Amino acid sequence: MTYRYLPDLHQEAAVQPGGILSRVLHNEGGVRTVIFAFDTGQELTEHTANRPAILQILSGQGRIKLGQDELEARPGTWAYMPAGLVHAIRAESPLTLLLTLLPKEDPA
């Protein structure tokens, strides 16, 4: 059994001027963890995912859209998004977030 240890997530994704950086940190057992770094004004427009996910803001300020709601995003913000939920994010300052995609839900 192996593990991966990252002593400082902030060093895993530096904000790129005028861009968005994404880097996969983990992809095993149906769980995929991706770190994103957005420069000010950068955004991911409305989209959906076919599996549930957890969003955690690590640094910076922005706005997230979850369904019809537009909400503040700042360090410490945490959100669970079920599969199929329309969502988006816009950085109002350099922003870093951690996205954890969970295993697909079994249709019961």
Which residues does the chain have with pLDDT short of 50? none
H, E, C per residue of 89-101: EEECCCEEEEEEE
Q: Rounded CA gap, 59 and 38, in Å?
A: 10
Give the pLDDT score at 10.
Answer: 87
Give the pLDDT score at 105.
Answer: 75
Q: What is the pTM of this model?
A: 0.91
Q: Rounded CA gap, 19 and 86, in Å?
A: 22
Give the pLDDT score at 51.
Answer: 96
pLDDT tens per residue, range 8-33: 998 999 999 999 999 999 999 999 99
Give the pLDDT score at 45.
Answer: 96
